[in-house]
Structure 1
Amino acid sequence: MGIRIERATMADFHQVMADYPRYWGERDLRSLHLPMLVQEFGPTCLVARADDGIRGYVFGFVTPDGTGYAHLLAVRDDARRGGLGRRLYAEFAEAAVGQGARRLKAITTLDNAGSIAFHRVLGFEVTVVEDYSGPGQARVVFRRALPGEVPWP
């Protein structure tokens, strides 16, 4: 059986946290994994499920101004380089549109070369924004239009 992209459950969230190193390695982003994302923004929180478990996930939401914000996207260490990240983003975009999104957005740190390259391949505009996360905390901001997009506020 292939990989199925499905709405995440709280059981999925707990499984992701139990297998955390398989998705993020040494990077400690556990504090960004908020249960309320799955509980309150369920349609835009998705898992890629196979017989051997959760191979990847995306947790995001749609802002009041119509931005589909991809908060976290990760692919398990043994499932990378096969297009699963791209597939998760496509499913997230579709779910976000269903919730009223007209554009997509994500952020990362300046040293996350893999994320920057990935978002460029997906056609995102890449901008460094100084002090995005507070004084002296610049972030790389990714933006991409969706069909029927309106200008950024």
Structure 2
Amino acid sequence: MMPPAYELRPATPADYDPIAAVVDEWWGRPVLPSLPRLFLDHFHRTSLIAEGPAGMAGFLIGFLSPSEPDEAYIHFVGVSPQVRTGGVARAMYERFFDLARRHDRRVVKAITSPVNQTSIAFHRRMGFEVSEPVPGYNGPGTALVTFSRSVGDR
């Protein structure tokens, strides 16, 4: 459930610039190259924006896999540091799980860097299976942690 002062809505392509303006600050390091505009141009109907009294409080960029008919994928999530631990991320994930189920998807997947312990802990709390770092996941010299969660049967 979304915290009372916040509202979830589907993203639009116009949300890219406001996201781009805050994402590096919210993450505390340069991450914007991992979120090109194409995600909001092509996957806005399956992505979410959380809005609160001060404007955008969070976003979730996700899509229904065009290649794996049982799967959906969460590519990128950001929550304003001022509202973290208030349920915004959980509400966005739950809404995305509902969207995945409505489209007959049974599994939601995601990935992160092994150094992102906050993300790993959050995904565990959300019921995801968490892998050990997978060497070479994005090519030589990279390792990523994968997440997978069942969201129900068809």
Note the alpha carbon deviations across 1:102-122, whole angstroms, 9 max, x for none.
101000011110001000111
**Cα–Cα, structure 1 residues 138 and 21, in superposed 2: closer, same or farther, change >3 Å?**
closer
Equivalent residue in structure 1 for 2:72, among 50, 68, 91: 68
Name the counterpart of 1:34.
36
Measured in 1, the distance between the counterparts of 2:30 and 2:48 equals 21
Name the counterpart of 1:89.
93
Equivalent residue in structure 1 for 2:138, among 133, 140, 144: 133
2:23 and 2:78 in contact (8 A); partners too = no
**Cα–Cα, structure 1 residues 34 and 98, in superposed 2: closer, same or farther, change >3 Å?**
farther
Q: Which runs of 5 or more structure 2 residues have no equivalent in the other structure?
A: none
Name the counterpart of 1:107.
111
Measured in 2, the distance between the counterparts of 1:96 and 1:29 equals 26
Report runs of 4+ in structure 1 exceeding 3 Å deviation.
none
Q: Is 1:7 aligned to residue 17 of structure 2?
A: no
Alignment: residue pair count: 148
1:43 and 1:95 in contact (8 A); partners too = no
Q: Which runs of 5 or more structure 1 residues have no equivalent in the other structure?
A: none
- CA RMSD in angstroms comes to 1.6
Measured in 1, the distance between the counterparts of 2:6 and 2:144 equals 32
Equivalent residue in structure 2 for 1:122, among 126, 134, 141: 126
Q: TM-score normalised to the size of structure 2? A: 0.89
Name the counterpart of 1:17.
20
Measured in 2, the distance between the counterparts of 1:70 and 1:45 equals 9
Measured in 2, the distance between the counterparts of 1:16 and 1:36 equals 13
Identical amino acids, percent of aligned pairs: 34
Equivalent residue in structure 2 for 1:148, among 123, 128, 153: 153
**SS of the counterpart of 2:110?**
strand
1:46 and 1:59 in contact (8 A); partners too = yes
How far is 1:131 from its partner?
1.2
